[in-house]
Structure 1
């Protein structure tokens, strides 16, 4: 007879409490080990006893039991007990020696185990960048120290420096949370968020231990990725950074001092490893949309974000500092202001735009008309570049204008916004075409054949619905309900679009 629990799902899965007893660790340590090794909870196909529990694969727990990292965890636990015992006995010299000789572990081996190829690390880079950019704008807490925040800030700057050197920015979108940025590295396009400053404080209901565990792994991962990227360009890692230039308010990208890499320098920090394996090397196509342009940023513009975006597209950005006023203004081509009143005298040989012009031009991959983005003018909609309007039933009017402007340079949207006389003629022609289409629909409705076809089709649909199984019928009703809700949403957007166009006329 087969013994109970020796075969099937009962053998393949193990509960979290049994896994912790097997590994001899606490709940917090078990969560940290699972985060570092990338072990996730599983849902058994067959219901087990205590289905409300959390289950893991038994195979993953066995691999984790033989991992060298858990030996270091045990050593750290024993070391903390020794320190606690020495403090209770008031042995200050022993406590000092124990603190100086605390055991440590490295995570580069785990990074190489989880990401065998460099493309695998790039595909998982968005989560790492989101967390590191968030922590870089935080204030220190009891679990997230100031050293970790400074390290996150350094890693994010190094990654931004690589993006600026290669021109890897593809799409940007300004939202309430922050600035969404999409970069392209080796054909992979991770999307991450750069939050605005000052960032809000850490919420009290967030478990900072979980964030600290993820942060510990993602720090090592981004360090390995940055090292690989800089070495591929032929520069030593880590690059030197002059803090004095940042304190004076200058661009952080001018504070980097790049040195050429030595020939015998290893590609990774792990001894005896060759780093990420690269099957295919794809050259990055640099973005030179703003090449030859020099932007002067107003005081209300987030300087660090737009300096990164402009430099990544080949442009140059300057701004006024209290200690260093701008004296040479002859090379400035664009003034960027986010307010209606322009300070100083207005020049005729330069362009004055709002910051949305830079973002929309990058998303459209073409320099849009400046007349739509003059200071004090109501701006066109800031469309998300991550939504594909080609196959959707609702297509914004401004998206049509961008596609027409890229192909033939048609400027109908500009005329409609500025208030040209020809815009009324265009609107009248559109209304006339709509009336003709409605008349054609009325004529079609009078034909008896057109009336019989939909009724027969609906009858056939009802018969087919009756012949379905209950499960299939329920699924079909859910699909039709979602389609109707989508149509209602699209019709509402189209109606609002027509109302706005009529009010602007």
Structure 2
């Protein structure tokens, strides 16, 4: 057997540089990057970089050698090579002005199809749903872009159409569970086929072009190319599983592929929101209430255990959440962001409209007397109706997160709003917890541990049982002690033994002291010395460090360093909150 030379085995044989991969695949850098993004092949970080780079000390981009061998068998490689041949031949035809041959070659432009790669990367439908987070976030972002040099208008319109179709399924299936407003945009979380899918819908601002150094739109556009195919497959499966026709047919002719719809940015966004306020045409009319009732009936037939009771409780809460805004009619003012509100209100059974003279897609006017809530984001209104509540937009988001209709008095026009807390954080986390969240948690714990009132069917003996406070116990103790002394004096006069009397007296005092020790006494404030506590923590830490074995010492130091970083972040957030409260108090 031939003896292997140096760097022919181990990590040196497992990794390959990007330059070597380009030579092996015979592709340009742009085509290689496009192929890797579509196939899901990314650079790797070796454990020993010097060995992987065959003794070189430079920092190079490394790939797994097996991934590059995997790319060799991909049919897309031949299509990318055809692109290079096509570019050379068409350039030659333009140079010699052979326009007849150029027209023939343009008609035979090679088409890149990646449908089989979507099926290859996601063998099951659930796998595709699990990977929808990044896909939806990027497509929602691109759906708001205007026409750029590297982002054609057709691509942004395709992203808009796919996201509208996805939102229509979310609205019809009532799948939204959590929502949050942040600086980045609106966070949404939906339950699709038992999987939690979270995405960000960006705020709509007038678009400002960025320099090429800030954002590489070419790379992002390659991701969008793959994600549009992926979301198209997902939408098709979701619509057919819910009994809807795909592509969806809206009852209004708003969402048409016309150039007039997206010449103006305002009308572009307005048409997008108007499409969400129309209903889908279903081939199977199955009421959502019947499905929920069947699930609850199946749970009731099972055995009564803690798990079954928990499932019943979750099912009843979910049924109540899906009809949260049922029977309510909302009117949105022109200064309020309409798209997230339309999604939320329609997802939970409500109806929504706006000013038809400004935006298309309105279903009723402001003068409608059946409107129950009007969403306003301005301090003063010229005209008000007594039959409706005027609230700020945060009320809708907080109602969804709390899963109940909150009182509207805290969200009236001009009122300082309560804190908008994120529902995506863990309540038992070790990091900084805002005081408002802490108060809400304490209130919830108090309601759970609230003492139960005496039942009317309880026995009269339990109701009439008297309770003794400290003063009554002290009086009883003094009375018994006086009676005992008098009784002992009489016994001594009759000639009883003094030792027996003393023993009896000691036993009696012991019983009375035990009775007093069981009573409720006034608590005393114990002031802890911070220096002593800090010293004890340092001693405990030193003892733990001594007990750690030498081979685990680096891991122990890493854990301690992470703990210190978390404590520092927590302290900084507390300090920031104290400064904000001080500024508010001074103001």
TM-score scaled to structure 2, two decimals? Answer: 0.70
> Distance in 2 between the 1:486 and 1:29 partners?
43
Q: Which runs of 5+ in 1 are unaligned?
A: 262-282, 411-435
Aligned residue in 1 for 2:462:
none
Aligned residue in 2 for 1:169:
176
Deviation, 1:182, is 1.1
Deviation, 1:157, is 0.4
> Distance in 2 between the 1:238 and 1:479 partners?
50
Q: For 1:440, which of 495, 512, 525 is the aligned residue?
A: 525
Residues 167, 120 of structure 1: CA spacing in aligned structure 2 closer, same or farther, 3 A cutoff?
same
Aligned residue in 2 for 1:81:
88
Look up the SS of the partner of 1:296 in the other structure: strand
Aligned residue in 1 for 2:123:
116
Per-residue CA distance 1:209-230 (angstroms, 9 max, x = gap): 2011101000101111101101
1:367 counterpart = 2:405: yes
Look up the SS of the partner of 1:212 in the other structure: helix
Deviation, 1:39, is 0.3
Residues 234, 453 of structure 1: CA spacing in aligned structure 2 closer, same or farther, 3 A cutoff?
closer
Per-residue CA distance 1:462-502 (angstroms, 9 max, x = gap): 34435654635643541452254145246537756986998
Look up the SS of the partner of 2:9 in the other structure: coil
1:135 and 1:152 in contact (8 A); partners too: yes
222-231 or 202-211, larger mean C-alpha shift = 202-211
2:376 and 2:391 in contact (8 A); partners too: yes
> Distance in 2 between the 1:335 and 1:457 partners?
56
1:136 and 1:153 in contact (8 A); partners too: yes
1:129 and 1:192 in contact (8 A); partners too: yes
> Distance in 2 between the 1:310 and 1:327 partners?
17
Aligned residue in 2 for 1:462:
542
Q: For 2:233, which of 219, 224, 229 is the aligned residue?
A: 224
Aligned residue in 2 for 1:381:
419
1:366 and 1:406 in contact (8 A); partners too: no
Q: For 1:299, which of 328, 334, 347 is the aligned residue?
A: 334
Where in structure 2 are the equivalents of 1:54-133 lying within 5 Å?
Answer: 54-133=61-140
Per-residue CA distance 1:272-292 (angstroms, 9 max, x = gap): xxxxxxxxxxx9977221111
Q: For 2:385, which of 330, 333, 346 is the aligned residue?
A: 346
Residues 216, 455 of structure 1: CA spacing in aligned structure 2 closer, same or farther, 3 A cutoff?
closer
Where in structure 2 are the equivalents of 1:376-455 lying within 5 Å?
Answer: 376-392=414-430, 394-399=432-437, 402=440, 440-442=525-527
23-32 or 366-375, larger mean C-alpha shift = 366-375
> Distance in 2 between the 1:461 and 1:127 partners?
42
> Distance in 1 between the 2:111 and 2:547 partners?
67
Deviation, 1:239, is 1.5
Deviation, 1:404, is 7.3
Residues 172, 480 of structure 1: CA spacing in aligned structure 2 closer, same or farther, 3 A cutoff?
closer
2:174 and 2:347 in contact (8 A); partners too: yes
Aligned residue in 1 for 2:4:
2
Look up the SS of the partner of 1:164 in the other structure: helix
Residues 326, 358 of structure 1: CA spacing in aligned structure 2 closer, same or farther, 3 A cutoff?
same
Q: Which runs of 5+ in 2 are unaligned?
A: 256-260, 262-266, 285-314, 449-521
1:139 and 1:201 in contact (8 A); partners too: no
> Distance in 1 between the 2:237 and 2:542 partners?
61
Deviation, 1:401, is 5.7
Look up the SS of the partner of 1:184 in the other structure: strand
Deviation, 1:392, is 4.0
> Across the two proteins, how many residue pairs are aligned to each other?
451
> Distance in 2 between the 1:86 and 1:351 partners?
70
Q: Which has the larger radius of gyration?
A: 2
> Distance in 2 between the 1:290 and 1:157 partners?
22
Look up the SS of the partner of 2:195 in the other structure: coil
TM-score scaled to structure 1, two decimals? Answer: 0.80
2:277 and 2:342 in contact (8 A); partners too: no
> Distance in 1 between the 2:172 and 2:440 partners?
29
Aligned residue in 2 for 1:196:
203
